């Protein structure tokens, strides 16, 4: 049993993790070459994902001169992998020939209205019974609801000003409280082998027996076909994406995004940047890409026999019944590699739209420009680590520059990539909004660093270019029947109140010792990254997380015993936020604790 060695320098871990141009350090090479001399029958890699499958070399069909192949040779790699992450499982299959054995996500628990909002919930219930029966009482309740929502920070979470109409305020406050009640979160961590079938798959692989294939996806989003886990994961045929069902769902996502923009701005969005990830596209069979097509007034064309996508169709304006929306796609490195045909299709469709005899008001594609951007070929991720830790204005500018640097390669209709920084900057400056789609119920934007790097990174990029802050949309697609577009600050507030500040979530993590403590500290890291990059996380949300962590004596004692490094990290992170002016607490008790050095 051994820990995977560091690929490069520890302080540059995140920047080097996905860099296919950077060779591994000598100690890393020596470790894997030593393993090959030990007469091993198989290598079981626990923990997704590692660095071996991201070493330099070809993306597929590796040769002996590619680093992953050079280090592992013919050694079988058995790789337990969470069943809802097909993209990175596919990378392990393609580049180290891994047998990826699906395992369950954590079990889900239902959220509840937090203690600080119970009075608000009671007032909303009272209002709903009084509405239409007693106008005078109804008006008094409207004032009471708004006063309570203001005191609890909910009006600030929702961006409701004093001039908001009673109808808008009550509707949005009620919807927010209901969203919290209907939320779910992972109850602790999954323990490998506890789910039926998982260990059987691993034992069969170790015994050199056939492991049957199984699909990947989220069991909490209706994908019951992924059960039982423990099978050899497969993903999708990239040529059949988006499927007909995914396109229908993408239309719903697009209409929900348009609805929210119309509600907030009173007009259709003219230009949007959409954030597309490879794993999500595999899980949903292309719902997010289908959303982009519908926004532009496009639809896929499928072959009747194979159901593969063979082209596109242009929806006439008379049927679309609105202007075409100018869509820019920012695709991840994995999306670029797995779905090259989709990038080409979108660019070809944009070119065809430019030739339509339609007014510029209805068809912004008449202005020719690249519209699909991503990282340089061979590179992945945002390489934003240092900038995420520097809370100064210069650190935020560096984060914005990192987002632009990781997005500045355009992909054309022939599939060729080329640098196009000026075109990217033009698209970013012109954007009315940025949207990311969340399809997994078992995770949220404070459970992984990528959300802040992508969504907050875009906000930092706009600021770095001197632009006005655009609308940042986080589309909740976890319930396919009821997608919901929220502003990013609303989504952060929902996650804090439903999961992060929920004592039951932290108690669930406390069942897992050292690892659970690390997860508690990581949530603050990701919240801090959003506060840093967007400058839009209100202080009361950070107060709530402080009270839920360092404000709990039992949790502090747990961290001190099980993971003192996580405790120190929490204390240091709160202090750094305060010193940078990103958090000015409203609670005297918290201020006293911070002054005392706790």
83 and 168 belong to one structural domain: no
Contact 501, 548 (CB under 8 A): yes
244 within a domain of the structure (yes/no): no
Q: What is the dihedral of CA 405, 407, 413, 414, to 10 degrees?
A: 50
For residue 598, the model assigns a pLDDT of 66
For residue 12, the model assigns a pLDDT of 73
480 and 351 belong to one structural domain: yes
| Burial zone of 350 (CB within 10 Å; 0-12 exposed, 13-18 middle, 19+ buried) | buried
Three-state secondary-structure class, residue 356: coil
Among residues 428, 456, 489, which one ends one of the domains? Answer: 489
pTM beyond 0.85: yes
| Burial zone of 327 (CB within 10 Å; 0-12 exposed, 13-18 middle, 19+ buried) | buried
- CA separation for the pair 309, 306 (Å, rounded): 9
Q: 413-423 burial, b if ≥16 CB within 10 A, otherwise e?
A: beeebeebeeb
For residue 45, the model assigns a pLDDT of 96
Among residues 439, 465, 489, which one ends one of the domains? Answer: 489
Three-state secondary-structure class, residue 152: coil
34 and 144 belong to one structural domain: no
User: Measured between alpha carbons, how far is residue 416 from residues 19, 35, 222, 326, 408 in Å?
Assistant: 20, 39, 37, 22, 14
Residue 54: in which H helix or E strand, if any? none
131 and 144 belong to one structural domain: yes
User: Measured between alpha carbons, how far is residue 26 from residues 5, 7, 31, 54, 571 in Å?
Assistant: 10, 9, 9, 16, 36
92 and 207 belong to one structural domain: yes
Tokens of 220: 């909490």
- CA separation for the pair 355, 129 (Å, rounded): 56
- CA separation for the pair 294, 252 (Å, rounded): 9
310 within a domain of the structure (yes/no): no
240 within a domain of the structure (yes/no): no
550 and 463 belong to one structural domain: no
532 and 421 belong to one structural domain: no
- pLDDT, tens digit only, all 598 positions of the chain: 999 999 988 777 776 777 777 899 999 999 999 999 999 999 999 988 899 999 999 888 999 999 999 999 999 999 999 999 999 999 999 999 999 999 999 999 999 999 999 999 999 999 988 866 678 888 899 999 999 999 999 999 999 998 999 999 999 999 999 999 999 999 999 999 988 889 999 999 999 999 999 999 999 999 999 999 999 999 899 999 999 999 999 999 999 999 999 999 999 999 999 999 999 999 999 999 999 999 999 999 999 999 999 999 999 999 999 999 999 999 999 999 999 999 999 999 999 999 999 999 999 999 999 999 999 998 888 989 889 999 999 999 999 999 999 999 999 999 999 999 999 999 999 999 999 999 999 999 999 999 999 999 999 999 999 999 999 999 999 999 999 999 999 999 999 999 999 999 999 999 999 999 999 999 999 999 999 999 999 999 999 999 999 999 999 999 999 999 999 999 999 999 999 999 999 899 999 999 887 6
Contact 261, 433 (CB under 8 A): yes
438 and 538 belong to one structural domain: no
80 and 161 belong to one structural domain: no
Contact 348, 309 (CB under 8 A): no
Domain count, the chain: 4
150 and 124 belong to one structural domain: yes
- Tokens 């000003």 sit at which residue? 161
Phi and psi based region of residue 183 (left: phi greater than 0; alpha: psi -120 to 50; beta: remaining): beta
- CA separation for the pair 100, 131 (Å, rounded): 56
155 within a domain of the structure (yes/no): yes
Tokens of 451: 């959300």
307 within a domain of the structure (yes/no): no
- CA separation for the pair 99, 391 (Å, rounded): 42
Domain of residue 510 covers 501-595
Please name the residues in contact with 472: beta carbons below 8 A apart, sequence gap of 6 or more.
433, 434, 455, 458, 459, 487, 488, 489, 534
- CA separation for the pair 589, 585 (Å, rounded): 9
345 within a domain of the structure (yes/no): yes
Q: Which residues pair with 44 in a beta bridge?
A: 78
298 within a domain of the structure (yes/no): no
512 and 390 belong to one structural domain: no
- Tokens 């909740």 sit at which residue? 476
**What's 261-297 look like in SS3?**
HHHHHCCCCCEEEEEECHHHHHHHCCHHHHHHHHHHC
210 within a domain of the structure (yes/no): yes
User: Measured between alpha carbons, how far is residue 34 from residues 7, 71, 224, 378 in Å?
Assistant: 16, 10, 42, 28
21 and 96 belong to one structural domain: yes
């Amino acid at each position: 049993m051994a820990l995977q060695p560091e690929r490069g320098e520890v302080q540059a871990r995140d920047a080097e993790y996905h860099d296919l141009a950077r060779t591994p350090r000598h100690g890393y090479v020596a470790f894997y070459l030593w393993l090959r001399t030990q007469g091993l029958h198989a290598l079981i890699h626990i923990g997704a994902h590692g660095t071996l499958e991201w070493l330099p070399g070809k993306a597929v069909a590796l040769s002996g001169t590619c680093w992953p192949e050079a280090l592992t040779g013919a050694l079988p790699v058995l790789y337990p992998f969470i069943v809802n992450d097909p993209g990175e499982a596919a990378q392990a299959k393609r580049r180290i020939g891994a047998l990826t054995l699906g395992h369950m996500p954590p079990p889900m628990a239902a959220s509840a209205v937090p203690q600080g909002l119970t009075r608000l919930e009671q007032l909303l219930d009272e209002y709903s019974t009084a509405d239409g029966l007693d106008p005078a009482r109804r008006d008094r309740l409207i004032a009471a609801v708004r006063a309570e929502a203001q005191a609890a920070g909910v009006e600030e979470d929702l961006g409701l000003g004093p001039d908001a109409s009673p109808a808008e305020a009550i509707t949005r406050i009620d919807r927010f409280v209901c969203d919290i009640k209907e939320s779910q979160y992972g109850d602790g961590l999954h323990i490998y082998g506890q789910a039926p079938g998982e260990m059987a798959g691993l034992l069969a692989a170790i015994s050199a027996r056939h492991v049957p294939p199984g699909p990947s996806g989220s069991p909490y989003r209706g994908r019951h076909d992924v059960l039982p886990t423990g099978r050899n994961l497969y993903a999708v045929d990239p040529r059949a994406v988006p499927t007909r069902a995914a396109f229908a769902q993408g239309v719903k996502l697009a209409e929900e995004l348009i609805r929210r923009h119309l509600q907030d701005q009173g007009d259709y969005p003219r230009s949007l940047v959409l954030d597309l990830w490879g794993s999500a596209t595999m899980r949903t069979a292309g719902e997010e890409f289908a959303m982009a097509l519908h926004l532009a007034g496009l639809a896929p064309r499928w072959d009747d026999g194979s159901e593969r996508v063979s082209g596109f169709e242009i929806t006439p304006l008379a049927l679309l019944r609105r202007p075409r929306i100018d869509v820019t796609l920012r695709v991840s490195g994995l999306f670029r590699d797995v779905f090259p045909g989709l990038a080409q299709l979108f660019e070809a469709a944009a070119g065809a739209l430019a030739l339509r005899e339609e007014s510029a008001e209805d068809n912004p594609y008449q202005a020719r420009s690249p519209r699909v951007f991503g990282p340089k070929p061979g590179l992945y991720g945002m390489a934003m680590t240092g900038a995420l830790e520097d809370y100064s204005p210069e650190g935020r500018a560096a984060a914005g520059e990192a987002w632009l640097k990781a997005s500045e390669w355009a992909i054309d209709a022939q599939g060729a990539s080329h640098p196009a920084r000026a075109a990217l900057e033009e698209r970013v400056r012109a954007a009315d909004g940025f949207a990311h789609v969340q399809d997994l119920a078992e995770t949220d934007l404070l459970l992984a660093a990528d959300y802040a790097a992508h969504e907050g990174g875009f906000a930092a990029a706009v600021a770095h270019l001197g632009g006005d802050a655009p609308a940042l949309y986080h589309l909740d697609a976890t319930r396919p029947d009821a997608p919901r577009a929220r502003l990013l600050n609303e989504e952060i507030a929902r996650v804090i109140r439903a999961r992060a500040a929920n004592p039951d979530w932290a108690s669930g993590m406390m069942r897992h010792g050292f690892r659970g403590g690390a997860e508690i500290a990581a949530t603050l890291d990701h919240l801090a990254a959003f506060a840093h990059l967007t400058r839009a996380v209100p202080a009361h949300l950070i107060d709530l997380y402080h009270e839920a962590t360092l404000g709990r004596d039992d949790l502090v004692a747990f961290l001190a015993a099980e993971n003192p490094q996580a405790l120190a990290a929490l204390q240091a992170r709160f202090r750094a936020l305060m010193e940078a002016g990103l958090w000015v607490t409203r609670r005297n008790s918290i201020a006293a604790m911070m002054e005392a050095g706790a």
